[in-house]
Structure 1
Amino acid sequence: MFGVIISGRPVLTEPQALSPTQYAFPLPATPSFSHIVVFLLPGTQLPPDTAAGVYVQIPPSSEFRFLGAIANEKQSAIFKVDGVDPAAMVDPATGQVAPVTLGVSVEPVARIAELMNAKQAQQQQGGSSGMELVRAGAAAANPISTKVLAQRIIANAFNFLASFAGNVGPGGQEVVPLKSFQDWWAKFEKKIEMDPGFLERGDQA
């Protein structure tokens, strides 16, 4: 039902099912990361009047912190995750770094709206801690379709990678070095940190 992407890692699409409405993704803390993409798998629809709350638990804390939500109207989001410090997450019993746990819970829209409002109020009091790039559809004032968002991400990648294309082989097939894609992702991730709303504005610079 849900998928998760962390830069430089394989896409995760098979969470642990804790209940019919609750799922968990154990995420190795190394290498360290600061953003997580959560999305509905193609063809997936949440039940009417529900949204999927996204939570994170970072050792040594046992509490789950609310990050935001996705919904049928907003099927993907990028969340900023603060506090992933592998050096502080070593399990004394095993000597190994404990994993981060990402939780996804299907809940009534009204409950998600309450959590979103509480999070927003907390940020206004203590400063922003990195809201998700795309808010849940129930809370978005000017929703942008998943298709448009995907088109803008692809356009951003194409514009960056086009200058690195070169011809190889007898037929002169055009290729782009893998490192160029890695450089694009690093630049894209940095831009999200500095200006989370640039995709919503359609800014491809």
Structure 2
Amino acid sequence: MFGVIISGRPVLTTFDTISPTQAQLTIPTFPPFGHIVVFMLPGATLPEGQSAAVYIRIPPSYEFKLWGELSNTKQSAIFKIRNTSSGNGGNNLGAVDMDAMIDEDAQAKQMGGSVEPVTIGISLEPTVQLEANITAQKAAATASVTGLELVRHTPGAVASQVSTKVLAQRIIANAFNFLASFSSAGSGGNEVVPLKSFQEWWKKFERKVEMDPTFLERGDV
């Protein structure tokens, strides 16, 4: 139903089925690439009220992060990959959907087979819920880069106070990014996430707060 295009490589259409509503595709990170096109195959249609959420996992992270969506009225999307050697990996709002970063050093190591591939995940989700999640994530990302809610983090600097609403949005985005990869189809076509997965997220979130109490204020979700 879906395909992926990376410049200079063959079109990829062989996704691994994870569940009736989820599939994933792994992509070697070497040679380096700048953009990924995700699209619906000709003749493919999504169920009424459903859209395809596009997630990405970039090593060494084990978390899938929400990039965007495909729908019957938007059957393709271009995602920009920003190569960087700064080591600041993460997802930021960009001019073309959602940007992601791949460390150039990690790409070089791929020649020796020591780096895991990028993984693209597709998940069929209710359109209303998915669009709300994308809006919340973009709002949180915009808040972290516009300087309206806080000062850009620099060594030794103290971030300005962030509103409770923005902090809540970032906690929700953090939980959603982690739990999305564990969801599966339940009765009535609803997405179900095991309680154990939420417990694992909470433990990880607590450890992150203990190690760096200001990460939410900086928007590093």
Q: Which residue of 2 aligns with 1:30?
A: 30
Residues 101-140 of structure 1: pairs in structure 2 closer than 5 A: 101-127=119-145
The separation in 2 between residues aligned to 1:31 and 1:16, in whole angstroms, is: 22
Per-residue CA deviations over 1:146-192 (Å, capped at 9, x if unaligned) read: xxxxxxxxxxxxxxxxxxxxxxxxxxxxxxxxxxxxxxxxxxxxxxx
Q: Which residue of 1 aligns with 2:93?
A: none
Per-residue CA deviations over 1:119-139 (Å, capped at 9, x if unaligned) read: 2202321238xxxxxxxxxxx
For structure 1, the residue ranges without an aligned partner over 5 or more in a row are: 129-205
Q: Is the 8 A contact 1:29 1:86 kept in 2?
A: no
Per-residue CA deviations over 1:35-63 (Å, capped at 9, x if unaligned) read: 21011101100000000000000111100
Q: Which residue of 2 aligns with 1:70?
A: 70
The separation in 1 between residues aligned to 2:9 and 2:33, in whole angstroms, is: 10
The separation in 2 between residues aligned to 1:4 and 1:37, in whole angstroms, is: 6
Local SS of the residue matching 1:126: helix
Local SS of the residue matching 2:134: helix
Percent of residue pairs identical: 48
Matched, 1:2 2:2: yes
Q: Is the 8 A contact 2:57 2:65 kept in 1?
A: yes
In angstroms, what is the RMSD of aligned CA positions? 1.9
The separation in 2 between residues aligned to 1:32 and 1:126, in whole angstroms, is: 28
Instruction: Give 2:79's aligned amino acid.
Output: F
For structure 2, the residue ranges without an aligned partner over 5 or more in a row are: 82-99, 147-221
The separation in 2 between residues aligned to 1:46 and 1:2, in whole angstroms, is: 11
Q: Is the 8 A contact 1:86 1:97 kept in 2?
A: no
Q: What is the TM-score when the length of structure 2 is the normalising length?
A: 0.53
Q: Which runs of 4+ in 1 moved over 4 A?
A: none
Q: Which residue of 2 aligns with 1:170?
A: none
Instruction: Give 2:3's aligned amino acid.
Output: G
Q: Which residue of 2 aligns with 1:39?
A: 39
Q: What is the TM-score when the length of structure 1 is the normalising length?
A: 0.57
Q: Which residue of 1 aligns with 2:20?
A: 20
The separation in 2 between residues aligned to 1:26 and 1:79, in whole angstroms, is: 16
Q: Is the 8 A contact 1:37 1:77 kept in 2?
A: yes
Per-residue CA deviations over 1:90-132 (Å, capped at 9, x if unaligned) read: 59xx95221010101111102211221112202321238xxxx
Question: How many residues are aligned here?
Answer: 126
Matched, 1:100 2:118: yes
